[in-house]
């Protein structure tokens, strides 16, 4: 039986720099509070500055010189041990994540599990990191390519997956031989601290991973501009990502961006409606809609839209909203007041633009909701493709249902947004499913499933304004965190001048 907030005392946390947990140069700190109960202080964290970033980059640079020379299989063994430690601490870290971020326990357990999966997958690359061997065009000459690490990598991570997303970046990066300075999201720094402690306890050498908490202006900007940083890996909004891309271009830094989404589920007239309802419910309201892959649009054939809408609204009204620490709760709070106000503003915009509010639309207050940032599961019907709620990322529990005439229009509507991260189609027709696989503009596509649920062994990322072409997860992530080096070995004992010396 759920009895309220866990009896956990608040803790003063510090930065991890050069293997030591230290306070910020400013001496200042900020509070991390439970979005389901703002009386619950999760902890205080350093409000860091340029000086802290400088120290962390210097420590990472020193660690890099020996870490890059550590054999990749040995680096990978540390990552594997970190995965085992995360597995042992899964429940503890999941509960602390729910306290600081708000999503329900089954989801925070999944977040930690994603980090575990990534650890084991990335560790396998320590014995691969494949290059190529190719025939040389001259005799007595050997040609091959190898991967080499980039150097010191700066990482800026979001609050919605506060352990999974750092794991997507950090584990492959260190297996490749890089060192790290990471700025966690100010809403969820504890999960990154816990992640770093698991690496520390796994035997990671000092300075290979450094954690500096603070705001985007005081930590993110100095990290981005620091001459000692060779690569920036960012997950967050498209607006901030664009600024990061410009700054990285100025500094000739490698840049990996994972940004927004406005993901659509296409519902054809032959779909299994009960399955589609469950998928849309999970996709739209899982993590309170605060996922870049959230199902924010259902594009439904007019022949089934009324039946689907009736079932969807009925199910949404049964969702239990509350503290994620309660095992019976199905949807937690928005992460903070600003996010809740953003959701409120989009509900007003949708109503003003003529969409029909079918359920929800209001903040929840009083009783169990009185001290948190709770919002009702919200559904709009009769949404037109050009409405703002159908085009702009809301990042909250708001679903738009858009009626269309057939598959061709459905795909046009799905593609008529500036994002292209995830998509889904529900149909029993294999031919239509394959058309969607070909024609939907998205980096990820699901058939008869929700728009959420990516696995670590396949690339993760999108097209258009969702990113800049790089992919996380899978083997493709290695292309972010390594550079290619081509090597030629001439054992002829004489100078051969490549194409000039060819005997035709």
Q: How far apart are CA 93 and CA 42, in angstroms?
A: 13
In DSSP notation, 254-296 reads EEEEE----EEEEE-TTS-HHHHHHHHHHHHHGGGG-STT-EE
Chain length of the chain: 504
Active-site annotation holder among 100, 107, 258, 441 = 258
Task: Give the closest residue to 464 by CA, choosing from 178, 238, 266.
Answer: 238
- With a CB cutoff of 8 Å and minimum separation 6, the contacts of 226 are 53, 54, 57, 154
Q: How far apart are CA 253 and CA 227, in angstroms?
A: 9
| CB-based burial label for 400 (10 Å; 0-12, 13-18, 19+) | buried
Q: Is 14:23 a contact under the CB 8 Å cutoff? A: yes
Task: Give the closest residue to 36 by CA, choosing from 395, 369, 342, 320.
Answer: 369
3-state secondary structure 73-132: HHHHHHHHHHHHHHHHCHHHHHHHHHHHHCCCHHHHHHHHHHHHHHHHHHHHHHHCCCCE
Task: Give the closest residue to 15 by CA, choosing from 177, 287, 223, 326.
Answer: 223
The two structure tokens encoding residue 294: 């959230």
Q: How many CB atoms lie within 10 A of CB 302?
A: 12
Q: Can 418 be counted among the known catalytic residues?
A: no
**144: helix, coil or strand?**
strand
Q: Can 330 be counted among the known catalytic residues?
A: no
**321: helix, coil or strand?**
strand
Active-site annotation holder among 255, 292, 334, 393 = 292
Q: How far apart are CA 281 and CA 399, in angstroms?
A: 9
Q: Is 308:273 a contact under the CB 8 Å cutoff? A: yes
Task: Give the closest residue to 82 by CA, choosing from 145, 175, 10, 17.
Answer: 175
Q: How far apart are CA 108 and CA 160, in angstroms?
A: 10
Q: Which residues have a catalytic role annotated?
A: 258, 292
């Amino acid at each position: 039986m759920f009895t309220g907030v866990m009896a956990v005392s608040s803790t003063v946390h510090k930065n991890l720099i050069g293997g030591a947990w230290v306070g910020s140069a400013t001496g200042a700190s900020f509070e991390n509070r439970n979005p389901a109960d703002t009386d619950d202080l999760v902890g205080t964290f350093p409000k860091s500055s340029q000086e802290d970033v400088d120290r962390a980059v210097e420590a990472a640079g020193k660690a890099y010189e020996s870490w890059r020379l550590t054999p990749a299989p040995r680096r990978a063994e540390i990552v594997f041990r970190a995965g085992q430690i995360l597995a042992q601490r899964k429940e503890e870290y999941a509960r602390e994540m729910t306290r600081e971020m708000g999503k329900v326990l089954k989801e925070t357990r999944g977040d930690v599990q994603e980090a575990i999966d990534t650890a084991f997958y990335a560790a396998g690359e320590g014995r691969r990191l494949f290059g190529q061997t190719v025939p040389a065009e001259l005799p007595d000459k050997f040609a091959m390519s190898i991967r080499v690490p980039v150097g010191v990598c700066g990482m800026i991570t979001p609050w919605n997956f506060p352990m999974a997303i750092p794991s997507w970046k950090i584990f492959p990066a260190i297996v490749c031989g890089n060192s790290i300075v990471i700025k966690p999201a100010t809403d969820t720094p504890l999960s990154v601290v816990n992640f770093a402690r698991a690496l520390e306890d796994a035997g990671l050498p000092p300075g290979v991973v450094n954690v500096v908490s603070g705001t985007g202006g005081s930590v993110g900007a100095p990290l981005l501009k620091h001459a000692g940083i060779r690569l920036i890996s960012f997950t967050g909004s498209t607006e901030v990502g664009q600024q990061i891309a410009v700054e990285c271009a100025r500094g000739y830094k490698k840049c990996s961006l994972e940004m927004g989404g406005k993901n659509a589920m296409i519902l054809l007239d032959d779909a299994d409606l009960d399955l589609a309802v469950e998928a849309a419910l999970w996709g739209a309201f899982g993590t309170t809609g605060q996922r870049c892959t959230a199902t924010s649009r259902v594009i439904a054939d007019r022949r089934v839209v009324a039946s689907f809408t009736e079932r969807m609204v009925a199910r949404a009204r049964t969702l239990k909203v509350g503290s994620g620490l309660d095992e019976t709760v199905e949807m937690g709070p928005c992460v903070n007041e600003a996010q809740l106000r953003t959701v409120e503003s989009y509900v007003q915009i949708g109503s003003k633009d003529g969409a029909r509010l079918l359920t929800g639309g209001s903040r929840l207050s009083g009783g169990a909701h009185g001290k948190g940032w709770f919002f009702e599961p919200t559904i709009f019907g009769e949404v037109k493709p050009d409405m703002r709620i159908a085009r702009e990322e809301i990042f909250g529990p708001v679903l738009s249902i858009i009626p269309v005439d057939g598959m061709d229009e459905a795909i046009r509507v799905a593609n008529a947004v500036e994002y292209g991260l995830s998509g889904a189609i529900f149909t029993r027709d294999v031919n239509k499913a394959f058309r969607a696989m070909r024609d939907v503009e998205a980096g990820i596509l699901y058939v008869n499933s929700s728009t959420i649920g990516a696995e670590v062994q396949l690339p993760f990322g999108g097209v258009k304004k969702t990113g800049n072409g790089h992919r996380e997860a899978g083997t493709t992530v290695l292309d972010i965190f390594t550079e290619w080096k081509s090597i030629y070995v001439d054992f002829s004992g004489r100078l051969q001048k490549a194409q000039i010396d060819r005997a035709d």
